[in-house]
Structures are given as structure tokens and as C-alpha cells.
Structure 1
Amino acid sequence: MFCRDSESFALFLFSTDPRLIQTATQSGVGGVVVDWESIGKAERQVGFDTQINHDTVEDLARVRAATRARVLCRLNAFGPTTQAEIEAAIDNGADELLLPMVRSANEVETVLAWVNGRCDLGILIETEAAVERSGELARLPISRVYVGLHDLAIERKTANPFQAIADGTVERLRAAFEVPFGFAGLTLPDRGFPIPCRLLMAEMARLRCDFTFLRRSFHRDTFNLDLRYAIARIRRAMREAFARSTAELEVEHRRLLEAIATADGYFRARCEMNRTDAVQAASQ
């Protein structure tokens, strides 16, 4: 079932701050993500302007105590630590686990067996292997699918993380899954550089996505704003996007493709600058 309207479209916030979480969930955020993924991430994402969190078991317990909203916990990629992380996440109140960097249905089946129905399991598609095996993954009893554009771009050796939208990968994946589906991330509708956020909102509506995350720039863009006002603006913009006709959303889709193509040079230059900075920092 694809998302039918904006009212069922969910926003999730990465945070471990109880006060921020309480305000956000009272303002329309559907849940909170505690992020444990850090193993190997710095090496994998060198040269890319990404965020690496180092949330802890104590952070998860504090978030759980602070809210009745849905709490998601992103684990590290499947490996030697996975089973222990599952137990710790469930023991400390996670409603749903997110498994990143999935590469095979067997990994997900193993995690589902370890979870044993005690909470839900969502997956992140951010490897070529997962894209190729989307049919197998779609048959598993998972709770949601999110396409991680940055890591997928790294695997594909492209600087532009939005290329998976432009080449149709995201749309094909959306068609493969019936569980809640999301991609990219949102901030205020009039922000977002070099891809305007309003174009991503229109694409989420065109593909009838079900959820997304409030991305890192959301915190920066709303630093001096009332959080309730900021979230209301996003939800209003999503309502407007879902209310558009098919023809109107196709026009916005073409504009998005043009913006992605135009942004290629910007992303290549940024990656080169970040790699240079990383090399210089390592040599000091």
C-alpha cells in the first residue's frame, strides 16, 4: 500500500535531547531515531559531507523514558556486533530497529530470527547488492525501507548523492516494496542547497512515499526558530505537495532532474575539497 495522503506521512527526528524530542513529537514528528551506526563509517564516507553520530545505550534509555512516540534505533551494519546490539536495543525500549548497509536477504533473515518478533525491523538500502536483490528483500516481513542516497552514491563512486533519483533507481525501488518507504531527507521547504527541498517534497508525493527523516540541515535551518512553527511549515508543504495533480507532480519531477544535473559540478568540487581536507588533517 502506497501512502495515500500527507496526513499519514511520517517525519522522524534524529535526537537524544529529551526536551527537543518532547517539543518535536508534540508538534507532529512521528518518532525519534537513536543512531548507533559508527563502525567503519568515517572511513567509508571520507570526502563526503555526512554526519556520524555516536549515540549510546544510555542515550536510547533516556529517549525511551522521555517519549511515548515511536523510538527507532539504527544499528551498525550486519556483523559480529549485531546480535548484542539487538538485545541491548530491545532491552532499552526500541520499538523498531533499522539495519543499515544491507547486502543480502540472508542478513535480514538472520536479524529477523534474532529479533524473534520482539520489535519491528526496517532496512536501509544503500548498497548496489541491496538494489539488485530488492525483489528478495521485498518478500521479507520488514517494517519499512529507506534509500540511503549518500552511501549508495559512495558505492557507485559518484559525487552526486541524488543521482539515484535521476537514473530511476529510487522509483524502481519504490515500486518493489509495499511497506512504508522513504528516501532523502527534509528541512524547511524554502531551504535545501543545491537541491531545493520543495522539489524533494514533490518527488516524495509523486512516489507516494510514507516517511522520511528530518536531516542534519534541519537543525541548522531551525536554530533560531520555534520548532513547532518549523515542523508546521514542513507538514503544510507536504500537504500541498500531496494535493497536487499527477501532471503538476510530473512538472516538478522534471525540474528536480534538471536541478540534480546542474548540481553535479557542485558535488564533485565539494568531495574533492573534503578529501583534501581529510588528507591534510591526517598528516598533521
Structure 2
Amino acid sequence: MDLFVFTVDPGCARDVVAGGAAGIVVDWERRGKARRQLGEGTQINADTPADLRRVRAATDGRVLCRLNGFGSWTAGEVEEALACGADEILLPMVREPGEVDRTLELVAGRCGVGILIETQDAVEQAAALAARPLSRIYVGLNDLRIDRRSRELFRPLVDGTVDAVRAVATVPFGVAGLTLPGGGWPVPTRLLAAELVRVGADFTFLRRSFHADMVGRDPFVEVPRMLAGLAELRAATAEQAAVDRRALVAAIDEAGRRSGEPLVPAPMSQPA
């Protein structure tokens, strides 16, 4: 499973990739994000084209640039990301295939185009979106939760949503994010990693929790340890995988109870 680290620190970018991460994400998304995520305690980055150039110069890993959601500014952002050396762009907050088609036209094959499925509209049109010539598809749990007006971050992992999107994805697929083994709250990262293995995720992101847990630690030790943990989960028996899945569902249900949000019937069929 490929690990992509959100960072604009050239030293961090160099070391995590040298330690085994697949690449780096530089995050330009902020248009309307503070309003959309008001009171949610989420992370809003302020990365710049200069950051992208510095990260590009620091590593030979794959460099992804998350743009703002589609709009009149997208053409300019595409050109700037390309000029700064991005290998791929990520289009967030997709709501309909036309946004993706127009972005693909703007890119014209000059780099990869990945999308973030993090609205209910995108979930419902996942098959049509997945039919486009994309470089990757990622399900963003935070914004999907907000779009659904839910307090349960991890519910899409167990209500059939993630399985349904994964079933139509024919390009690298990712969801959620990980931190160091032994960390993670309210869902332990081991259970989350086991779920990513179960759904066949090809990649995931390392963000705020990872950076917090990495303070004082060596990426040349910790990144290989994460990769080894994922390899161990891939080798788990069917019985152990079933135990992990039940524990994940229980942890998510408990988090839901703590949120005060009543459990509701799944919007999609429960995976077998």
C-alpha cells in the first residue's frame, strides 16, 4: 500500500520518501473550506506554489497537488501546478462528472488527475466518475461526513459506502488515513489499517495525526514499521481478518454512541 504524506517541509519530504513512502501531497485547497468546515476542528492548509517547487526539488517521490474544488480558477491552478512540477493533481469536492471532464481537458494528458469522492453526489455517481481516465480515486471521510450532516467520521467504512465505491474503481483506490502503529483514536490505527487491507486500498494519506505522532521519531524507522505492519495484515488468516472487522465495527459503533448520533439504517447494503 502506498503512503502519501501531506507536508511542505523539504527535509520531511526527502526523508519519508527515502524511508519508504510513495510520495508527497502539497495542499492548495482552501476556497470556501473554512466556511464549509466551520466548527469541525479540521485542518486547513495554506500551501503555496513555492512550497510545491521546494518539495519537488527535495524528492524524487511522486508529488501530488490538491487543487481547490472545480471553478473558474481551475485552469490557472492546473497550469501553475504543472509549472511547479506536480506529477498529479487531485480534484476535491467533486459533485458531477462534468467537473472531472473539464479538468481532464485542461490537463490534456500532461499529468495524472485524481479525484476525491467526498460528497454524497459523488458517491451516487461513483460508477460514472470511475469511468473517466483517472490516476486515482480517494474517498474523503471528513468532508463526506459534513456533506451528509453526520457526526460519524468512520461510518462510511461500515455502511457499505466505501465498498460500493471500491467496487467500481479500476484505478488506484484510497480512503481514510493512518498514523503510527499503536496510535489512532477513536478507531485504533491497526483496525483502520486492517480495513484498508480488506477493501483492497492501494494507497492512503498520512496527515495531522501522523505528524503529531512522529515528533522526535526517525522516519527511517517508522515508515518501514508502518509498511511492515500493513504487510503483516495482508498475510493475516481469514479468521483474524474477521475478528479485526468485528472489532472495527464495534469501535465505530462506540464512537457513534459517544457522538450522540443515533445509529440509522445503512444507505447502502452491508458488505458480506
Q: TM-score, normalised by structure 1?
A: 0.90
The residue aligned with 1:16 is 8
SS in 1 for 2:116: strand
Cα distance, 1:230 vs structure 2: 1.4
Name the % identity: 50
Q: How does 1:124-203 map to 2 (within 5 A)?
A: 124-203=116-195
* Maintained 8 Å contact 1:13/1:32: yes
RMSD between superposed Cα atoms in Å: 1.2
Q: 1:69 and 2:61 equivalent? A: yes
Q: 1:50 and 2:42 equivalent? A: yes
SS in 2 for 1:97: strand
The residue aligned with 1:274 is none
Q: How does 1:1-284 map to 2 (within 5 A)?
A: 9-267=1-259
Cα distance, 1:251 vs structure 2: 2.0
Cα distance, 1:34 vs structure 2: 0.5
* Maintained 8 Å contact 1:24/1:227: yes
CA deviation profile, 1:97-126 (whole Å, cap 9, x unmatched): 000000011110000000000000000000
The residue aligned with 1:281 is none
Cα distance, 1:250 vs structure 2: 2.2
User: What amino acid sits opposite 1:146 in the alignment?
Assistant: Y
Distance of 2:188 and 2:147 partners within structure 1? 24
- Per chain length, whose mean CA-contact separation is higher, i.e. which structure has more relative contact order (CA < 8 Å, sep 6+)? 1
Distance of 2:141 and 2:260 partners within structure 1? 15
* Maintained 8 Å contact 1:72/1:94: yes
Distance of 1:250 and 1:176 partners within structure 2? 23
Q: TM-score, normalised by structure 2?
A: 0.93
CA deviation profile, 1:62-93 (whole Å, cap 9, x unmatched): 11111111100000000121110000001110
* Maintained 8 Å contact 1:34/1:72: yes
User: What amino acid sits opposite 1:249 in the alignment?
Assistant: A
CA deviation profile, 1:123-177 (whole Å, cap 9, x unmatched): 0000001000011011100010110001000011111110111211011111111
User: What amino acid sits opposite 1:44 in the alignment?
Assistant: R
Cα distance, 1:227 vs structure 2: 1.7
Give ranges in structure 2 of 5+ residues lacking alignment. 262-272
* Count of equivalent residues: 261
Give ranges in structure 1 of 5+ residues lacking alignment. 1-8, 270-284
User: What amino acid sits opposite 1:95 in the alignment?
Assistant: D
Distance of 1:49 and 1:182 partners within structure 2? 23
Cα distance, 1:268 vs structure 2: 5.1
